[in-house]
Copies of this chain bind each other. A is one copy, B any other.
């Protein structure tokens, strides 16, 4: 069976996460709580089995903080729908926050 529906759902979750949180003020002190919140926000949604989120390269402007950009995000998410599990991820590739399907399997 095709995993089209499950891949669609995985895409929704990554697109949603990205555009919800990009622009959030973040510092070295607050990055941990932001990672946890993003992870749990993704996991609260339907079809999501598991999510892990890390944020790297937090720098700071002259006022002591940074803003979350797409290339700072490292995300892995597993969604299941209609008996198909999809693993998908996002991370920086040549300066672009690339989203990709890493695996599709029956469950």
- Please state the number of chain copies in the assembly: 4
Number of chain A residues whose Cβ lies closer than 8 Å to a Cβ of chain B: 54
Q: Most chain-B CB neighbours within 10 Å: which of A7, A22, A70, A94?
A: A7
- Given contacts A7-B8, A45-B65, A70-B67, whether A30 and B40 have CB atoms under 8 Å apart is yes
Min CB–CB distance A1 → chain B (angstroms)? 10
* Cβ-closest chain B residue relative to A104: B4
- Given contacts A3-B2, A15-B13, A16-B19, whether A101 and B8 have CB atoms under 8 Å apart is yes
Q: Which residues of A contact B (CB under 8 A)?
A: 2-5, 7-27, 29-30, 33-34, 36-46, 61-65, 67, 70, 88, 94-96, 99, 101, 104
Other 11 A-B pairs with CB < 8 A, given A15-B16, A22-B67, A36-B37: A7-B8, A9-B11, A10-B11, A11-B15, A12-B14, A15-B15, A19-B20, A22-B23, A26-B41, A27-B44, A33-B36
